């Protein structure tokens, strides 16, 4: 399993993915879950994946191969909506192909597709295993895939479309740290992208390792801050839970 989160904000996009994959406790490895396709100045597309590793790798490879061989591909369709349709179609084809070999294996995957094509705003889509998808908007400015439940509360409390990119990056790291602490199937290193709208180029993937000073400081400050907040809450005692006497 993995955890990916993508935030669509007024000023751009913040994307964070872990890199752990496992097939049991004795078979753990790292694979990049964040990929970039681009024509600098014309379009930049980010792909984040969670689910069956063989499926996601097949989907990414087929999308990359189609750029060389297909008439219609991610780098020539007119809108990011069309890109999401292509990704969803490819996912359906790969899952249908591999499910015929099903030996109790889950071949499903989910993907987040985001980026910007010149002439339209930056956009974010969540593509489901069935190949259908939804788009992020002002009321729903972020999507998660994979082990999402542990990192969701902080996003719900902090993120809205007007959140600054710097604040959103910090929030995404805390969301990821909460997931790392609670689920062993999510692990370092992390891949992070901060995309400023209308740049229309790959800003570069930031890779954060376990011993990275930024991660250490965020983890420590968040942990200590939660403890301090908890210690400062109004005193709650068992007497408050006693049933009230009837008149």
Flag whether 41 is in a domain. yes
Flag whether 238 is in a domain. no
Q: How far apart are CA 76 and CA 37, in angstroms?
A: 11
The total of structural domains in the chain comes to: 1
3-class DSSP state for residue 35? Answer: strand
- Give the domain range for residue 78: 3-233
Residue 223: the pLDDT is: 92
Flag whether 245 is in a domain. no
Flag whether 239 is in a domain. no
DSSP summary character for residue 232: T
Flag whether 10 is in a domain. yes
Flag whether 244 is in a domain. no
Query: By the 8 A CB rule, do 172 and 3 touch?
Result: no
The pLDDT tens digits for 201-240 are 999 999 999 889 988 999 999 999 999 999 998 877 766 6
Query: By the 8 A CB rule, do 165 and 31 touch?
Result: no
Q: How far apart are CA 74 and CA 117, in angstroms?
A: 11
178 closest CA partner among 164, 158, 163? 158
The pLDDT tens digits for 165-184 are 999 999 999 999 999 888 87
Read off the CATH number of the domain in which 154 is found: 3.60.20.10
Flag whether 28 is in a domain. yes
Query: How far is the CA of 214 from the CAs of 3, 7, 33, 127, 178, in angstroms?
Result: 19, 20, 21, 31, 15
Q: What are the DSSP calls for 130-183, one per residue?
A: TS-EEE--SS--EEEEES-TTTHHHHHHH--TT--HHHHHHHHHHHHHHHHHH-
3-class DSSP state for residue 88? Answer: helix
pLDDT range class, residue 26, cuts 50, 70, 90 = very low
Neighbours of 155 (CB within 10 A): 21
The pLDDT tens digits for 150-168 are 999 999 999 999 999 999 9
Cα-trace Rg, the chain: 20
Query: By the 8 A CB rule, do 18 and 187 touch?
Result: yes
User: Could you tell me what percent of the chain has a pLDDT over 90?
Assistant: 74
Flag whether 112 is in a domain. yes
Q: How far apart are CA 6 and CA 50, in angstroms?
A: 13
Query: By the 8 A CB rule, do 139 and 103 touch?
Result: no
Instruction: Report the sign of the C-alpha dihedral through residues 148, 8, 204, 111, in that order.
Output: positive
Question: Percentages helix, strand, coil for the chain, rounded to the nearest 5?
Answer: 35, 25, 40
Q: How far apart are CA 247 and CA 116, in angstroms?
A: 67
Average pLDDT over residues 138-153: 94
Query: By the 8 A CB rule, do 175 and 168 touch?
Result: no
Whole-model pTM?
A: 0.91
Q: How far apart are CA 32 and CA 17, in angstroms?
A: 8
Neighbours of 113 (CB within 10 A): 28
Q: Is residue 247's pLDDT more than 80? A: no
Neighbours of 210 (CB within 10 A): 11
């Amino acid at each position: 399993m993995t955890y990916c989160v993508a935030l669509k904000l007024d000023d751009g996009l913040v994307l964070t993915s872990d890199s752990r994959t496992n097939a049991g406790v004795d078979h753990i490895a790292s694979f990049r879950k964040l990929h970039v396709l681009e024509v600098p100045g014309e379009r930049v597309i980010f792909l984040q994946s969670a689910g069956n590793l063989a499926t996601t790798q097949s989907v990414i490879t087929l999308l990359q191969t189609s750029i060389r061989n297909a008439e219609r591909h991610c780098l020539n369709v007119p809108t990011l909506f069309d890109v999401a349709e292509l990704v969803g179609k490819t996912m359906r084809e790969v899952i249908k192909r591999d499910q015929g070999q099903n030996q109790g294996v889950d071949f499903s995957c989910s993907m987040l597709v985001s980026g910007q094509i010149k002439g339209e705003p930056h956009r974010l889509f969540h593509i489901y295993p069935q190949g259908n998808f939804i788009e992020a908007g002002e009321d729903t400015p972020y999507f998660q895939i994979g082990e999402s439940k542990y990192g969701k509360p902080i996003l719900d409390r902090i993120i809205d479309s007007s959140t600054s990119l710097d604040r959103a990056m910090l929030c995404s790291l805390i969301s990821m740290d909460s997931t790392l602490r609670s689920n062993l199937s999510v692990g370092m290193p992390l891949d992070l992208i901060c995309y400023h709208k209308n740049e229309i180029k790959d800003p570069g993937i930031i890779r954060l390792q376990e011993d990275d000073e930024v991660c250490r400081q965020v983890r420590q400050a968040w942990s200590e801050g939660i403890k301090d907040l908890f210690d400062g809450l109004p005193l709650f005692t068992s007497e408050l839970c006693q049933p009230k006497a009837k008149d």
